[in-house]
Structures are given as C-alpha cells and as structure tokens.
Amino acid sequence: HGLPPRARTALWPAAIGNPLRVTRSLYEMLVKKAKAEENRWLAAVNTMALAEDASPSGRVEPGSFMAQLRAIDLDLPRTLPDLAVMCVPDGPLRQECRLVLSAFAMYRPDIGYVQGMSFLAAMLLLYMDPFGAFVCLASLLLSSPTLLGLYQLNVETNSRRFWIFMKLLKAHNPALHRHLTDVGISP
C-alpha cells in the first residue's frame, strides 16, 4: 500500500531530492526551447508543402528532437490507459506529461526519450506540478545508473540485472519469486 497518496506530494520530492540542482528557470527554458523546435519544424514542413503544392511528408530524421517528440506522442495514449485523465488527448495531465518528457529530451539529448519514460513521468505528475515532476524524473534517471540503464536498452546488461534481481528475490521472498516464475515472469 505504501505512502498515502496525499503524503506523496511532499515525500517523493524530499526523498528524491534535487542533486542536479535543476532550477525552475532551467526547466522553463527547456520547455520553451522544445516548443520552439517543434514550431520551427512545423513551419518548415508547412513552407515545404506550400512551395511544392503538396501535403507535407512530415519526414523526421532518426535521432532528431522531432523523432523524440513523435515517440512521446506514440507512447502517451498507452500510458496509464485505465486513468481517465490520461485518455484525453488535449487533457492537462497528458499535455503536462508531454512537456516534462520533451524538456527531458532537450535537457539530455544524448539520452533523449525512451519508450516507457512516460509511465514514470505520469506517475510523478499525479502528485506534483510539472517542474517538480521534471526535477524528480531527471534526478531519478541521472542519479541512478541502474534505472537509467533500464532505459538505455542494453540487452546484455539488463539481462544480467534481471537475473541478479530474481536471485535476490528468491533469497529474500521465495513466495513472490515462485509466483512470478509460475506466471511466466522471468529474465
């Protein structure tokens, strides 16, 4: 059951901290930069379409910021689908989640957005404002090589981590280990 929901608003940021010393002005600058990059791309696509008298292809270079934004937009409808506020395309929670994730992709373009980060961002946004969620997201990912490693999709490293996890789980909670194994969850 964990912490009562009302306590999470104060306790999660306090427990995670801000080891990166992210300021509100940095977050706002990243959001502004992300919006400007998206607007620049949209203007270029529209200009190209007008010049060629055709519909814009919307082609995006792999690894570009727009590719990151497209990945975010693909993930958001699948993020917490049982939560009504996440199902509304232009709803505030989904839009805040998009901003937090695009700001992170701007903050660390070497990492960018990786599928699944939306779940972590959305959970944080349920209990705090976008700035607080950004600070916690960045702090969790960048202060923990293990958590960041899960998002870097290194199959060999992650397989080793899952194997170690299952061994430790078996030693400390054999009933849960047995249950996970019985339902087919294994590294």
Please give the Cα distance from 46 to 35 (Å, whole number).
16
Which is more confident, 171 or 45?
171
Same domain, yes or no: 94 and 173: no
- Mean pLDDT for 101-128 is 96
**Res. 57: pLDDT tops 70:** no
Please give the Cα distance from 5 to 11 (Å, whole number).
10
Same domain, yes or no: 121 and 178: no
Same domain, yes or no: 167 and 91: no
What are all long-range contacts of 3-11, with beta carbons under 8 Å and residues at least 24 apart?
Answer: 5/127, 8/127, 9/127, 9/128
Same domain, yes or no: 159 and 102: no
The band of 150, judged by pLDDT with boundaries at 50, 70 and 90, is confident
Same domain, yes or no: 170 and 125: no
The verdict on residue 149 lying in a domain is no
Segments forming the whole domain that contains residue 132: 5-144
The verdict on residue 17 lying in a domain is yes
The verdict on residue 113 lying in a domain is yes
**CATH code, domain with 78:** 1.10.8.270
Task: Give the number of domains in the chain.
Answer: 2
Please give the Cα distance from 152 to 146 (Å, whole number).
10
DSSP single-letter state for residue 78: G
- Mean pLDDT for 69-83 is 92
Same domain, yes or no: 114 and 81: yes
Please give the Cα distance from 177 to 28 (Å, whole number).
44
Same domain, yes or no: 125 and 87: yes
Whole-structure pTM value: 0.82
Q: What is the pLDDT of residue 53?
A: 44
Which is more confident, 51 or 157?
157
